[in-house]
Amino acid sequence: MSNKTIKPLISAEELLTISQNNNLVLIDTRMGKDIKATYLENHLKGALHVNLNNDLSDIKENLANGGRHPLPSIEKFSKVITNLGISPDSHVVIYDDKSAAIASARLWWMLTAIGHKNVQVLNGGLKEAIKVGYPTSSGEETPVKVPLYVIDKWKLPMKTMNEVEKISQDKDYLVIDVRAKERYNGEVEPIDLIAGHIPGATNIPFTSTNLDENGLYLESSILKKKYEKIIGSKPLKNVTVHCGSGVTACHTLLAMAHAEIEIPNLYVGSWSEWSRNNKTIATNLNE
């Protein structure tokens, strides 16, 4: 397979055409209560399940230390993807049952960040695959045994909490908060302890910005125009994207990659870390 990175999204029809490829590794990232039981009951044939909390994060006892979904160590992630049968030449396709592809986008970002070339997210997720007749199965699936996937480091750009604090109100930089408007405004906070946003951050909600009325990603050209307008003349190295815990932010990073825009910085700790560390909090209440 070519070393050229493939497109970050794959349609259900395209997935169906490559379903018999030997190097295809299909990953189910669905989230929720009793999700393993849901996976065992029904999933796309051949798909292996990963758990956001256990496999794609290293959650600390004190969430002030990294937020709700800190990245796992390189060593842990290496073992996780090896146990899934992923090797450097695997064609990895990731799906979930949210049209927003939340956990799927996180795993896509993580694999892209270690330099994996052939990784895609299924546009529209499980529903779209079933719609085109992709076969489903139940019970456990057996991964292919592969040698340890050796990883060097995270290669995509990231910002720490203190780095974000230094730049968030600097007009030469752009900090994008992809959470829902009411959370950004400080009207409601359903997950974290305090409502509001990082001072200086710009609210670009991921669902209303990135998806069409059917829950599919907008066309690349449309997203390109949107994000070029949002970013303006700022270099991508001066752009940082965050959310509640560094997961849904990856949805917007995926949208940018789909739009053929260079992937900017991710602030993994996001609001869940910021709001637990006595940092200044802004709201748009009483406006």
Under 8 Å between Cβ of 244 and 272: yes
Look up 250 and say whether it is catalytic. Answer: no
Catalytic residue among 44, 80, 243, 261: 243
Q: What distance in Å separates the CA atoms of residue 26 and residue 135, rounded to the nearest whole number?
A: 12
Under 8 Å between Cβ of 134 and 10: no
Under 8 Å between Cβ of 12 and 131: yes
Query: E strands, the chain, where?
Result: 9-10, 24-28, 43-44, 48-49, 91-95, 119-122, 136-137, 174-177, 202-203, 239-242, 265-266
Q: What distance in Å separates the CA atoms of residue 156 and residue 68, rounded to the nearest whole number?
A: 20
Residue with tokens 């990731």: 94
**Taking Cα atoms as reference points, which of 233, 217, 213 lies closest to residue 12?**
217
Cα→Cα distances 266→109, 238, 241, 253, 254, Å: 10, 11, 5, 8, 11
The catalytic residues are 243
